[in-house]
């Protein structure tokens, strides 16, 4: 933060003409307790900050489709626990205003602690600065930019289904296999990608790089698209997104068997989800 911005700016601007004490009293005097509406708070945000808030709200709303009873503020905390308090509050407020949910009774908040945090956030995160500072904030919070242009509706839905939109999600099955990231790729599929593209990275590096996760996902679903095309007329009458979902959990070979047996080949994955369940879930 530069020396002429933030809390001290109005004081520095009034050093002349005997206005110093007046400015100090205004800055540090009793709080007027101004209460803003949600609309007023959003109007005061910069374009970049508003974009960030709405982007997070979109992810949380998608997650809420699979959990329609949990209060929004709880979902926000689960998904973005490291995000600052003000952003989390605004996201929950937007969703609650648009599609109200019954909130469980909670103890009254510690107003003093809340005020301390608010002051800290105001001084630590100045979103009225350049776009670079906004990105730096996201990076610090583990909220790296997602390549929005390449993440279509199907892929958004798949990411929410597989990981609740958490690029750091990871699960290890009883047989020792580990699945990682937004789309829960296992080591075998990551190995396929490395062989096909010549890329070199470890699973740990993959987990930390959301852009890489998206690149692998684009390759993965393009490969599935080719497999569907290869079925020719056999795939007629099937929903394409549904078949992509089947191939995602059952492999392209499993997807072909599913089509050729007209759904009679219908195994479940290690978590108990059958091919037909995923087909129905993702079909238009």
Determine the pLDDT at residue 212.
94
- 1 pLDDT exceeds 60? no
Average pLDDT over residues 173-198: 92
Q: What pLDDT digit, counting tens, does each position of 55-69 carry?
A: 888 888 887 777 677
Across the range 67-80, mean pLDDT stands at: 81
| CB neighbourhood size of 63 (10 A) | 21
Q: What is the pLDDT of residue 23?
A: 59
Query: pLDDT-based confidence at 103, cuts 50/70/90?
Result: low
For residues 194 and 206, is the Cβ–Cβ distance under 8 A? no
Q: What does the DSSP assignment read for 58-90?
A: HHHHHHHTT-SSS-HHHHHHHH-TTS-HHHHHH
Query: Residue 221's CB: how many other CB atoms inside 10 A?
Result: 19
pLDDT at 16: 52
Q: For position 112, what pLDDT does the model report? A: 54
Angstrom distance (rounded) from CA 130 to CA 178: 40
Q: Check whether 72 has a pLDDT greater than 70.
A: yes
- Arithmetic mean of pLDDT over the chain: 77
Q: Does the pLDDT at position 108 exceed 90?
A: no
H or E stretch at 179: strand 178-180
**What's the rounded mean pLDDT across residues 194-216?**
93
Between 34 and 122, the more confident residue is 34
Quote the distance between the C-alpha of residue 272 and its chain's center.
25
List pLDDT tens digits, range 220-246: 999 999 999 999 999 999 999 999 999
CA distance 147 to 165: 13
Does 254 have pLDDT greater than 50? yes
19, with CB counted inside 10 A (0-12, 13-18, 19+), is: middle
pLDDT of amino acid 126:
39
- At 197 the pLDDT is 94
Choose the weakest-confidence range: 61-70, 88-97, 108-117.
Answer: 108-117
Q: What is the pLDDT at residue 151?
A: 59
What distance in Å separates the CA atoms of residue 38 and residue 244, rounded to the nearest whole number?
Answer: 40
CA distance 224 to 131: 37
For residue 12, pLDDT beyond 70: no
146-155: per-residue pLDDT in tens? 444 345 689 8
Measured between alpha carbons, how far is 181 from 203 in angstroms, rounded to an integer?
10
By residue count, the chain amounts to: 284
Between 260 and 10, the more confident residue is 260
Count other C-beta atoms under 10 Å from residue 193's C-beta: 20
Residue 194 pLDDT grade (very low, low, confident, very high; cuts 50, 70, 90): very high
Does the pLDDT of residue 252 top 90, yes or no? Answer: yes
Q: What is the mean pLDDT of residues 42-63?
A: 83
> What pLDDT score does 83 carry?
73
Average pLDDT estimate for 69-81:
82
pLDDT band with cut points at 50, 70 and 90 for residue 269: confident
């Amino acid at each position: 933060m530069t020396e002429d911005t933030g809390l001290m700016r109005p004081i520095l601007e009034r050093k002349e003409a005997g206005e110093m004490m007046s400015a100090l009293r205004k800055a540090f005097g009793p709080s007027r307790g101004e209460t803003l509406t949600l609309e007023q708070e959003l109007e005061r945000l910069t374009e970049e900050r508003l974009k960030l808030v709405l982007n997070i709200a979109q992810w949380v709303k998608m997650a809420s489709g699979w959990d329609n009873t949990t209060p929004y503020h709880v979902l926000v905390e689960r998904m973005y626990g490291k995000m600052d308090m003000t952003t989390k509050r605004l996201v929950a407020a937007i969703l609650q205003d648009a599609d109200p949910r019954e909130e469980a009774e909670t103890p009254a908040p510690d107003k003093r602690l809340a005020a301390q945090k608010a002051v800290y956030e105001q001084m630590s995160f100045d979103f009225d600065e350049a776009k670079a500072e906004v990105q730096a904030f996201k990076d610090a919070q583990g909220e790296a930019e997602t390549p929005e242009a390449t993440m279509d509706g199907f892929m958004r839905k798949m990411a929410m289904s597989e990981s609740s939109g958490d690029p750091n999600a990871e699960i290890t099955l009883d047989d020792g296999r580990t699945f990682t990231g937004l789309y829960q790729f296992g080591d075998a599929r990551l190995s396929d990608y490395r062989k096909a593209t010549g890329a070199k990275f470890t699973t740990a590096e993959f987990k930390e790089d959301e852009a890489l996760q998206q690149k692998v996902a684009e390759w993965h679903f393009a490969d599935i698209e080719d497999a569907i095309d290869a079925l020719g007329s056999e795939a007629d009458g099937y929903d394409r997104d549904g078949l992509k979902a089947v191939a995602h959990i059952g492999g392209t070979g499993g997807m072909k068997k599913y089509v050729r047996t007209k759904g009679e080949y219908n195994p479940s994955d290690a978590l108990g989800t059958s091919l037909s369940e995923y087909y129905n879930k993702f079909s238009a």
